[in-house]
């Protein structure tokens, strides 16, 4: 069972290991878990792994993987039963850094859609903003409720060889994965209750309560009168499970665009008893499909006139339209400067070094070293539009060279950072796999960072691709109390 762990990594030559030290001893916060695994033995772990899969299957916890022909394949959520554990002191640093980052990005969005002071002061090039796919001119000079644009964020974190946390991406449009974070915990508690006897683990199951409180806070008619809906593109969307999960857990309606109508700049839900006014729309529909009167005229997923209702202050849209410009991967490189500019503080969490393809020097450097780079399309997510240099073919590198030269604004590049690893129980063996972490932040009356997040795992040995849409799996994430 332990065959996959018998080669301790030489110091500094291998990625950081979350579970054990260079001398192959478990880190202090993993010792109780390690001892329990040794006592449990392979048969019990195999039984627990089967129970976990059965529980997820029975509960219908699924996700969709798209193949090359873009036909979705629904699968049971892949879950590894050995949790990732984060000590309290380590989490305190992450929480402070995430709060700082979201506060700064929210101020950035307010400025970009109003005075644009940061451009006038020469901190960010105007071209970077105006040529961004997610910069929405329809949002200029609109004041969202309480000046909040980034209500729900999922920030992707990785660890470098030294174990230092780095921000890989900011996801500020419609970040997914929070339902799986909660389902992971529910399954873990059901399948392995004895694990929890050894640790004081902070809760994540209250996320829907925090979200509902934040949504009510945004209601133009006051929190007590708030009527809230989750707006979904429908059953063919890869995150549809999450949309239904959140609506059910919050006790609010799940609606598609055809279920809503706008009259006199007020949004209504069609019901069997007539129209019901809606105050807050937690929309899981991208900007370009949100309102055919403003964005794509052929969209059947959105609601005609909903942007006018928002501009009139009659409905809150979550996240605010146009928020995506703040998680444009080209803007990401400027986030440390954004923090300094608006908050006057030193960034607590560092970025991964990033090359701008609009810079001729950066572009020449990257194109000469593509095999060691990760190239990303700036407005894509979920692992799409990406070149993983070390795993790429010469043909793929030639293709990306052409794409970058044709449209440099659409790409950034980062050196390959070997993601940290963790022990997983896979096919009857303990093996190490690469992973990242997506904590979720809710910005309502306060900024709440849920203690945990979605740990995504590369299920293929040696792979650095952790996205579920690309075949990645997940772990429960335990943040320990003091």
Q: 290: closest CA among 260, 251, 331, 313?
A: 260
45/43 Cα distance (integer angstroms)? 6
Q: Sheet with 266-271: list strands edge to edge.
A: 260-263, 266-271, 274-277
Q: DSSP of 55-112, one letter per residue?
A: HHHHHT-EEEEE-TT--EEEEEPPEEEEEEEE-HHHHHHHHHHHHHHHHHHHHHHHHH
Structure tokens at 255: 């609606």
Residue 203 per-residue DSSP state: P
Cα separations in angstroms, 281 against 23, 252, 307, 440: 52, 10, 11, 19
What contacts 97, CB < 8 A, 6 or more positions away? 165, 167, 347, 348, 349
What contacts 36, CB < 8 A, 6 or more positions away? 194, 195, 198
- How would you write the pLDDT of the chain (482 residues) with one tens digit per residue? 444 444 444 444 589 999 999 888 999 999 999 998 888 888 888 999 999 989 988 888 887 766 555 556 678 888 999 999 999 999 999 999 999 999 999 999 999 999 999 999 999 999 999 989 899 999 999 999 999 999 999 999 999 999 999 999 999 998 999 999 999 999 999 998 888 888 999 999 999 999 999 999 999 999 999 999 999 999 888 889 999 999 999 999 999 999 999 999 999 999 999 999 999 999 999 999 999 999 999 998 999 999 999 999 999 999 999 999 999 999 999 999 999 999 999 999 999 999 999 999 999 999 999 999 999 998 776 667 789 888 899 999 999 999 999 999 899 999 988 899 999 998 888 899 999 999 999 999 999 999 999 999 998 888 887 877 667 889 999 999 97
Structure tokens at 198: 């050894």
Q: Sheet with 411-415: list strands edge to edge.
A: 355-356, 411-415, 373-377, 386-388
Angle at 44 between CA 42 and CA 47, to 5 degrees: 110
Q: 247: closest CA among 278, 281, 222, 272?
A: 281
29/18 Cα distance (integer angstroms)? 10
Residue 21 per-residue DSSP state: -
- Going by their DSSP bridges, the two strands 440-443 and 152-159 should be labelled as antiparallel
């Amino acid at each position: 069972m332990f065959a996959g762990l018998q080669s301790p990594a030489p110091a500094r030559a291998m990625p950081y290991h979350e579970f054990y030290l260079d001398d192959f001893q478990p880190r202090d916060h993993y010792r109780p878990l390690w001892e329990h695994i040794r006592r449990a033995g392979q048969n019990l772990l195999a039984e627990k792994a089967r129970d976990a899969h059965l529980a997820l299957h029975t509960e219908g916890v699924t996700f969709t993987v798209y193949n090359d022909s873009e036909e979705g394949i629904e699968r049971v959520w892949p879950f590894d039963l050995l949790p990732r554990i984060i000590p309290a002191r380590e989490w305190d640093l992450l929480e402070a850094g995430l709060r700082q980052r979201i506060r700064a990005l929210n101020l950035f969005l307010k400025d970009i859609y109003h005075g644009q002071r940061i451009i006038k002061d020469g901190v960010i090039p105007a071209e970077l903003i105006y040529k961004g796919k997610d910069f929405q001119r329809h949002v200029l000079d609109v004041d969202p409720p309480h000046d909040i644009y980034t209500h729900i964020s999922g920030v992707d974190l990785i660890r470098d060889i030294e174990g230092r946390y780095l921000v890989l991406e900011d996801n500020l449009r419609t970040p997914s994965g929070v339902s799986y974070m909660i389902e992971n915990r529910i399954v873990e508690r059901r399948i392995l209750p004895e694990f929890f006897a050894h640790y004081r683990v902070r809760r994540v199951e209250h996320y829907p309560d925090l979200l509902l409180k934040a949504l009510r806070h945004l209601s133009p008619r006051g929190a007590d009168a708030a009527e809230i809906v989750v707006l979904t593109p429908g059953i063919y969307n890869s995150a549809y499970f999450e949309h239904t999960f959140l609506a059910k857990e919050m006790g609010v309606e799940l609606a598609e665009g055809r279920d809503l109508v706008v009259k006199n700049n007020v949004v209504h839900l069609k019901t069997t008893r007539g129209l019901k006014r809606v105050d807050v729309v937690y929309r899981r529909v991208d900007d370009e499909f949100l309102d055919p009167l403003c964005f794509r005229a052929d969209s059947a997923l959105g609601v005609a006139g909903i942007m006018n209702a928002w501009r009139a202050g009659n409905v809150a849209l979550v996240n605010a339209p146009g928020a995506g410009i703040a998680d444009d991967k080209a803007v990401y490189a400027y986030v440390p400067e954004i923090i300094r500019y608006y908050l006057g503080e030193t960034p607590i969490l560092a970025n991964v070094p990033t090359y701008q393809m609009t810079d001729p020097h950066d572009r020449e450097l990257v194109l000469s070293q593509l095999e060691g780079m990760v190239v990303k399309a700036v407005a894509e997510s979920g692992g799409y539009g990406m070149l993983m240099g070390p795993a790429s073919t010469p043909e793929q590198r030639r293709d990306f060279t052409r794409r970058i030269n044709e449209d440099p604004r659409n790409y950034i590049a980062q050196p390959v950072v070997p993601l940290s690893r963790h022990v997983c129980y896979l096919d009857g063996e303990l093996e190490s796999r690469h992973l990242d972490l997506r904590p979720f932040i809710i910005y309502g009356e306060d900024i709440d960072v849920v203690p945990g997040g979605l740990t995504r795992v590369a299920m293929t040995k040696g792979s650095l691709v952790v996205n579920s849409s690309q075949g990645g799996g997940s772990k429960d994430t335990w943040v320990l109390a003091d």
